[in-house]
Amino acid sequence: MTETSRTTVTLNNSYMKLVDELVDVFGATKAQVINNIVEYFFNDSKNDPLLEKLRARKRKENPPEEYELYERINKYLKRADKIPFNVFIEHLNLDTDFVISQLDKWGEKFSFMFIDNKIIKIKNDGSI
């Protein structure tokens, strides 16, 4: 059995009419129809770009606390000397524009440079 949770959905009248038309075709009740539509949407890989845009917007509007972010960056740089930029962004789970705007500040704080689309750690002797 799948774990579920309840929520209330408010739709305008035109959408509710469409839901009513789908009862007995796409579900036995209005709630089942709406559930099936939501599941269909999330399971359809054609919607992945839209979902990623929405996730990116959320990451941009709600970045993690600075302390938490610095801790993640520090941990990651302890384990790697050269990190592809896209991997760095995915690991931090942040918006690309936000990371780019912070690169100078973070590079100085954590001793790394951004070269050839990679985050490259500067060694203690100043070399890369």
DSSP code per residue over the chain: ------------HHHHHHHHHHBTTTBSSHHHHHHHHHHHHHH-GGGHHHHHHHHHHHHHHSPPPHHHHHHHHHHHHHH-SEEEHHHHHHHHT--HHHHHHHHHHHHHHHTEEEETTEEEEPPTTS--
The whole-number pLDDT of residue 126 equals 65
Amino acid present at 61: E
- Identify the pLDDT of residue 84: 95
pLDDT given for residue 128 in this prediction: 67
What pLDDT tens digit does each residue of the chain (128 aa) get? Answer: 678 888 888 999 999 999 999 999 999 999 999 999 999 999 999 999 999 889 888 877 887 888 999 999 998 888 888 999 999 998 888 888 889 999 999 999 999 999 999 999 988 766 66
Q: Which residues pair with 23 in a beta bridge?
A: 27
C-beta neighbour count of 100 within 10 angstroms:
12
pTM recorded for the entire structure: 0.58
Nearest to 23 by CA among 34, 13, 10, 14: 34
* pLDDT for 127: 67
pLDDT confidence of residue 56: 81
